[in-house]
């Protein structure tokens, strides 16, 4: 039987995903290029994607516009209490607040005004920790970046039943964030950049199809 990661190699050919999945991605130094690669491989029916990318506030709108041009998804700046929609990716808006998942379903986004976490606002740790109540319904991805923001939050996601991926050292511009997440034990699998989209999408498949996608 063919491996699904080969069968559905192009964005258009992936089957339907589990309806209640949410993908949370954190990145910093080198993350814009990494995000471009990952989002380019996501099909239009990808589950909602929530992104914290460390960047200057005045660059967020331009970043959303740029990423929107490389993917079949719709990429936009997140709004407070905005409902999550399939085929949409949401960027943390600026450094005045954290971007988090609300606890209740149907899922919405929250913009939370509180001090920096792990020296950052918005913080990847804040996003990942907000995903913990949703457990196995979430997938966490930590991409290239300096420092350790997101490492402990990813550990909590992993312990709650989420599937978590970290970009490997070879393809990371800076291995700080993914390397720390791996060292603290919060990573299901370390993956090269070119395979992160496929592994993330596989984790969003119904269990029967997911088993077929195993090597």
Query: What's the average model confidence in pLDDT over 7-32?
Result: 86
Instruction: Kindly name the residue from 94, 125, 149, 168 that is annotated as catalytic.
Output: 149
Q: Rounded to whole angstroms, how far apart are CA atoms 150 and 28?
A: 10
One of 3.40.50.180, 1.10.101.10, 3.30.1490.100, 3.30.1060.10 is the CATH number of 18-212, namely: 3.40.50.180
Q: What are phi and psi of 117, to 5 degrees?
A: -120, 135
Flag whether pLDDT at 126 surpasses 80. Answer: yes
54 among known catalytic residues = yes
Domain positions in the chain: 18-212
pLDDT in the model for residue 26: 99
- From the number of C-beta atoms within 10 Å of its C-beta (0-12, 13-18, 19+), residue 123 rates as buried
Instruction: Say whether 149 is catalytic.
Output: yes
The pLDDT value given to residue 208? 79
| Average pLDDT value for residue range 195-202 | 98
Closest CA to 29 of 171, 155, 175: 175
Predicted TM-score (pTM) of this structure? 0.93
pLDDT band at 106 (very low <50, low <70, confident <90, very high): confident
CA distances from 192 to 14, 68, 96, 141 (A): 20, 23, 32, 12
Instruction: Check if the beta carbon of residue 127 is closer than 8 Å to that of residue 91.
Output: no
- C-alpha distances in angstroms, 13 versus 9, 44, 142? 7, 10, 25
pLDDT score for 207: 84
What is d(CA 215, CA 208) in angstroms, rounded to the nearest whole number? 14
Pick the catalytic residue: 54, 88, 120, 137?
54
> CB–CB of 98/122 below 8 Å?
yes
Whether the pLDDT of residue 7 is over 60: the answer is no
Mean residue pLDDT of the chain comes to 93
Q: How far apart are the first and last CA of the chain?
A: 10
Pairwise CA distance, residues 71 & 197, whole Å: 12
User: What is the tens place of the pLDDT at every residue in 170-188?
Assistant: 999 999 999 999 999 999 9
């Amino acid at each position: 039987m063919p491996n699904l990661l080969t069968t559905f190699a192009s964005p258009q050919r992936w089957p339907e995903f589990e309806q209640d999945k949410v993908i949370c991605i954190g990145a910093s130094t080198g993350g814009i290029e990494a995000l471009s690669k990952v989002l380019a491989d996501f099909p239009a029916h990808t589950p909602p994607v929530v992104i914290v990318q460390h960047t200057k506030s005045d660059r967020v709108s331009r970043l959303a516009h740029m990423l929107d041009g490389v993917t079949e998804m719709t990429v936009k700046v997140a709004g407070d209490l905005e409902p999550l929609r399939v085929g949409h990716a949401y960027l943390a808006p600026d450094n005045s607040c954290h971007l988090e998942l609300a606890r209740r379903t149907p899922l919405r986004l929250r913009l939370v005004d509180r001090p920096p976490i792990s020296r950052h606002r918005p913080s990847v740790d804040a996003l990942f920790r907000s995903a913990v109540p949703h457990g196995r319904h979430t997938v966490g991805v930590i991409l290239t970046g300096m420092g350790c923001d997101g490492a402990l939050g990813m550990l909590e996601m992993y312990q709650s039943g989420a599937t978590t991926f970290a970009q490997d050292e070879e393809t990371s511009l800076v291995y700080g964030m993914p390397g720390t997440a791996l060292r603290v034990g919060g990573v299901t699998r370390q993956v090269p950049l070119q395979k992160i989209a496929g592994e993330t999408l596989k984790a969003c498949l119904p269990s029967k199809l997911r088993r077929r996608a195993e090597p």
